[in-house]
């Protein structure tokens, strides 16, 4: 069975031959272990070759393009340096007290096929056998990133939720245009909806229902209407909002961080929402893959498979991204262990 078909069957709760393996990789891990020199690549071709090479080396059933829209001439080195080192993007400041999103010009990007040169290149490298996915923040996350820092954004949210909601709805439109282009022109088969600030460590259940849920619902509906799969990526403590996430129209969810990183037990998540959506997770990248022994990794994989592979709808993955210093041998071990313990009888 091809990796592409295996992923499709897992995402739709039909029967693959075995559990798919697909972990998100941190940018630092990609560069440290994918680049021959260990340095940040300078061209699109170099970066795509690194991403695809790691997916093949780790025997992943999918690849997540961390920069889903890149033209051939893009300055990849500068983009990656900005993301990794959080370099300032300019002198622009955003004054929440004066923000009036209804008067803002939307300036929706006018995408062309050449904006997704990297996606086409990934497909050429991987062939038709491996699932290729992109990602996009939800409007709530884009709104939070509009502020100079997270603390300022959270204070603004507390002070004037109605004004904050208007900013979320403004960015929703930008996100919708972007995901449609990724699928139509980039041929993405799934979109990870990145929603990192939506856990209970940041916002209450009420704020989640009022601001995050509507945003995710709109974006997931757009993704699915284009024929792709939508899955939600939220770090940290999310046990109290699993059902709302499942009801937002998504096809699946990651990270489901286990203790101590979060508060989700995979078996509990399978019982509560595993019949509605696929689950992707939830191995602790730091305490298990990086700091644990090979025996710890095997025990974690077997626990995940025991908790979630029954009746399908499960993808083995780290909870969040593979940490920068996790050695490749540990990541490779995941596919080896699925070969041994994660096969279905079909």
User: Which residue ranges make up each domain of the chain?
Assistant: 3-23+132-341
Question: Quick one: what percent of the chain has pLDDT higher than 90?
Answer: 87
- The CA distance from 2 to 9, in Å, is 11
Q: How many Cβ atoms from other residues are within 10 Å of residue 206's Cβ?
A: 9
Q: Cα-flanking dihedrals φ and ψ of residue 71, to 5°? A: -80, 160
pLDDT of residue 1: 92
Question: Is the pLDDT at 106 greater than 80, yes or no?
Answer: no
Question: Is the pLDDT at 91 greater than 70, yes or no?
Answer: no
pLDDT of residue 237: 95
Residue partners of 145: CB distance under 8 A and separation at least 6? 137, 153
CATH of domain 3-23+132-341: 3.20.20.210
pLDDT in tens, 147-172: 988 999 999 999 999 999 999 999 99
- Overall average pLDDT of the 30-41 stretch: 92
pLDDT of residue 105: 78
Cis peptide before 134 (omega within 30 of 0): no
Question: Is the pLDDT at 258 greater than 80, yes or no?
Answer: yes
| pTM of the predicted protein model | 0.94
Question: Is the pLDDT at 89 greater than 50, yes or no?
Answer: no
Lowest-pLDDT range, 104-118, 171-185, 301-315? 104-118
The whole-chain average pLDDT of the chain stands at: 93
pLDDT of residue 93: 59
pLDDT of residue 110: 87
Question: Is the pLDDT at 346 greater than 90, yes or no?
Answer: no
Q: How many Cβ atoms from other residues are within 10 Å of residue 46's Cβ?
A: 17
Higher pLDDT, 106 or 220: 220
- The CA distance from 101 to 93, in Å, is 15
pLDDT of residue 136: 95
């Amino acid at each position: 069975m091809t990796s592409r078909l295996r992923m499709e069957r897992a995402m739709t709760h039909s029967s693959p031959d075995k559990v798919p393996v697909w972990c998100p990789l941190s940018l630092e891990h990609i560069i440290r272990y994918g680049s021959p020199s260990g340095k940040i690549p300078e061209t699109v071709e170099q970066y795509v070759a690194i991403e695809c090479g790691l997916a093949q080396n780790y025997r992943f059933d999918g690849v997540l393009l961390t920069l889903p829209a890149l033209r051939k001439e893009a300055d990849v080195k500068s983009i990656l340096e900005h993301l990794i080192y959080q370099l300032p993007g300019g002198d622009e400041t955003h004054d929440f007290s004066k923000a009036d999103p209804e008067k803002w010009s939307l300036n929706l990007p006018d995408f062309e096929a050449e904006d997704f040169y990297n996606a086409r290149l990934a497909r050429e490298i991987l062939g038709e056998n491996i699932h290729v996915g992109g990602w996009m923040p939800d409007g709530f996350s884009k709104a939070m990133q509009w502020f100079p820092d997270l603390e300022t954004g959270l204070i603004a949210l507390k002070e004037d939720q109605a004004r904050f909601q208007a900013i979320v709805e403004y960015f929703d439109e930008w996100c919708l245009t972007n995901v449609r282009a990724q699928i139509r022109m980039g041929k993405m088969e799934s979109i990870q909806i990145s929603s990192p600030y939506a856990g209970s460590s940041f916002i209450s259940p009420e704020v989640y229902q009022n601001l995050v849920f509507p945003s995710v619902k709109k974006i997931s509906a757009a993704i699915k209407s284009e024929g792709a799969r939508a899955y939600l990526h939220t770090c940290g403590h999310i046990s109290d909002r699993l059902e709302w996430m499942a009801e937002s129209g998504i096809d699946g969810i990651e990270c489901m961080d286990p203790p101590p990183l979060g508060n989700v037990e995979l078996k509990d998540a399978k019982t509560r929402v595993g019949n509605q959506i696929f689950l992707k997770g939830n191995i602790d990248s730091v305490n298990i893959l990086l700091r644990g022994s090979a025996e710890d990794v095997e025990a974690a994989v077997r626990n995940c498979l025991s908790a979630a592979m029954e009746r399908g709808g499960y993808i083995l993955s780290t909870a969040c991204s593979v940490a920068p210093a996790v050695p490749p041998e540990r990541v490779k071990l995941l596919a080896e262990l699925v070969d041994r313990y994660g096969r279905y009888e079909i």
